[in-house]
Chains A and B, each alone.
Chain A
């Protein structure tokens, strides 16, 4: 079965370190997204991609970057982690026709 997987599921890091969260989907979807989920804010879009070599900023993109070198993967990088980036991060990919998003299980990041 097609799926979307994230790794690591849990990570603790220190302020100032670079962190990369991986996202891999086997749906062959062109569209991929990174969200962060925080209490009281719901899901907020960080970055998204509509295809290979395409990346776009979402509403909370500062401090984050993504790259899309193939259809399956959209890694999210925090160049210099800050405590405000402690959150649960969700990757998703979507069916172009219906817009339905398929979510990964989430990556819980703690920045100390």
Chain B
């Protein structure tokens, strides 16, 4: 079945760049998303990319998509302590219409 994989934990120093990676198996994916979850809260959409795009930039966020390798990454420039959260990769399958989530990557930002 469809699967989305992420590493579980990433620790960086404040001011450094963070790169969170995600791999997926569904080649029919149309939209790919990054969600952020702060403690005790629901998920909020950070950004998304269409499957026909390679890159999308939005202020400090850069999303890179390698369709051939089914690899998605989220780069956060100048990471701040407020960026500490769990980041979820999610993939929308055009076959099933369902959004499949990865396990989430906990980003820890050290001062």
Where the two chains meet, the residues of A that have a C-beta atom closer than 8 Å to any C-beta of B are 33, 35, 40-45, 48, 50, 58, 90, 92, 94, 98-106
Contact = CB atoms under 8 A, between A and B. Distances in A.
Contact of A90 (B8, B33, B40, B42): B42
Contacts of B102: 42
A101 B43 CA distance: 9
Contacts of A104: 42
B30 interface: yes
Q: DSSP majority for the B interface?
A: strand
B98 A45 contact: yes
27 contacts: A40-B103, A42-B101, A42-B102, A42-B103, A43-B43, A43-B88, A43-B101, A44-B101, A48-B98, A90-B42, A90-B43, A94-B99, A99-B30, A99-B99, A100-B45, A100-B48, A101-B33, A101-B90, A101-B99, A102-B45, A103-B35, A103-B43, A103-B44, A105-B42, A106-B40, A106-B41, A106-B42
Given A99-B30, A99-B92, A100-B33, A41 B45 contact: no
Contacts of B40: 106
A21 to B, nearest CB: 14
Chain B's interface size range is: 20 to 34
A33 B98 CA distance: 10
Contacts of A35: 101
Contacts of B99: 33, 94, 99, 101
Contacts of B101: 35, 42-44
B42 A103 contact: yes
A96 B45 CA distance: 15
